[in-house]
Chains A and B, each alone.
Chain A
């Protein structure tokens, strides 16, 4: 099977800084693939190597099975949507979209037809004569994407193109982009630091940190089964509790947190022994909250509400454990039950031991 895009052990460094460190990936045709990582993790460097603006120090990049080494950006079957879109301000919309066709010497009648077609497909028919400055933010996005898609590239690279939009428009464009990708069937590679963009749109997400892929998988697998503590902390919200393994009973580990609490957790995939330093991750949305203080369960905390961070459906509360003063953030269910909750109220928290993730703490990799 040939993949639309393949990287084999790609390295790139700038001076003594290793920007991209042994990246391998395989992307099948028609995939929406995201690379998610904090700024400075090397994702832009990787994308620029795919586009042909720089060459890897080691390793190779293949597009549709063809090696790309030595092929400059203007000869590669990939196109890129830039962070600030880079629409040419001195040309109108039609000229912008026709730019690549013109460079490929497509005759004018065909060119005009293709431009009209692609504008139709992105839902903006008949705006060829408009100046770029007359477009709204969302329209500019779509024109920038159309400018690339009209060339029918094998792979479309997108460098955080939604970053400059306001929140509402960004939400809309996420759906829009996903639809466009399905409609055109082109392989998209999307880089972003926004986990929600990556999760909503992608078939597969690679989480990148310090020039390496921490984990590659579907959005669901990243969220439910993070493989490293970086992924657990970066994808979605998480409470991190540092502690030590006290004892192991069958499939259950008993953890003593540094603040002194005792938690139980399942540890399906890692080797643990008593005395190991670990990080325990509990998602705010996996924690049950009750007013009744008498319930007991596997993991249980009686706490006091410190702060209510109201954000509609994403509201959270900060709860401080009464015994240890450890703070946990908990999602607030919007079922009216907790509408009258105020700071200072006593609540009880509990969660299933299957719902927490545990990793050996590795201070060096975290820094």
Chain B
């Protein structure tokens, strides 16, 4: 082996080690655990019992679907809210303002997700700031509970993922020549057709890569649904947590984990097919 080749493999080593040790091995082990059944103390047998369990118990099923639908909805909402923000940062704001606005999107991430979520709780709980304010101005005469419902969970999820949508969108939109938009107007387009025929098609790679990241983050989010949604939030990651920690049923938890991975892969694949993008393109627009 020449020195050049050696240094190449040495440099590659940390990456290979991380991938194998932290991702590949645990996942394979998880797959192994999920497909066995404890027959007696320390004795295991191959079985698909835990997958069968998932398909026969409606609670698991419903939670699974609910998590998927809520995540897709949260991704769509995040896109809807982030697009104008990204457009403003990329095309309208100039110089110092631009940096300030970018910073404003980034600042929430300087504190941990836990603290951010508790921030929402301070605002929205029964004895919280919003409830107090509403009583003070006289809109309501008793404390209002705004936590523990789907709207609050959705708000929290969108808030937590905004940045990951804004960044790829800004970088795609910044690459767009303004004269494309002007040319479209010049050729007779109105606001709506220019957005539909020129701006959105141009931004598709950014939209797709933002959506993938946001969707995965949302689907795998644990803190926000648990804290803001409470016991009824029915998020699939909670089920996994319960199986592993509360019920100490590692086999069932591992089966859920594998299913969640399959679900997210399936939905991302479908999304890419529908938007006619390749995974490579979507990732390339991140940079």
A residues adjacent to B (C-beta < 8 A): 51-53, 72-75, 79-80, 82-84, 86, 88-90, 99-100, 103-104, 147-148, 151
- Give the CA-CA distance A89 to B201 in the complex, in Å: 10
Q: A86-B180, A86-B182, A86-B183 are in contact. Are A74 and B201 (CB under 8 A)?
A: no
- Give the CA-CA distance A100 to B188 in the complex, in Å: 6
Contacts of B180 in A (CB 8 A): 86, 88
Partner pick for A100 among B187, B201, B204, CB 8 A cutoff: B187
**Contact: B202 with A73, CB < 8 Å?**
no
B265 at the interface (CB under 8 A from A): no
Q: Taking the nearest CB of chain B, how far is it from the CB of A140, in angstroms?
A: 13
**Contact: A103 with B186, CB < 8 Å?**
no
Q: A89-B202, A99-B197 are in contact. Are A74 and B190 (CB under 8 A)?
A: yes
* Majority secondary structure, B binding face: helix
Contacts of B186 in A (CB 8 A): 51-52, 73-74, 79-80
Chain B window 239-264, contacts with chain A (Cβ cutoff 8 Å), 1 for yes, 0 for no: 00000000000000000000000000
**Contact: A103 with B177, CB < 8 Å?**
no
Within 8 A of A (CB), among B181-229: 182-190, 193, 197-198, 201-202, 204
Which partner residue on chain B sits nearest A90 by CB separation? Answer: B201
B18 at the interface (CB under 8 A from A): no
**3 closest residue pairs by CB, A with B:** A100-B187, A103-B188, A86-B183
B179 at the interface (CB under 8 A from A): yes
Contacts of B179 in A (CB 8 A): 82-84, 86
Which partner residue on chain A sits nearest B188 by CB separation? Answer: A103
- Sample of 8 A–B contacts (CB below 8 Å): A74-B187, A74-B190, A88-B183, A90-B202, A99-B187, A103-B190, A147-B187, A148-B187
**Contact: B187 with A103, CB < 8 Å?**
yes
Q: A53-B182, A86-B182 are in contact. Are A74 and B177 (CB under 8 A)?
A: no
Contacts of B182 in A (CB 8 A): 53, 73, 80, 82, 86
Contacts of A73 in B (CB 8 A): 182, 185-186
Q: Pick the most buried of B190, B197, B201: most chain A CB atoms within 10 A of its CB.
A: B197
Contacts of A51 in B (CB 8 A): 186
Q: Taking the nearest CB of chain A, how far is it from the CB of B58, in angstroms?
A: 45
Q: Taking the nearest CB of chain B, how far is it from the CB of A311, in angstroms?
A: 34
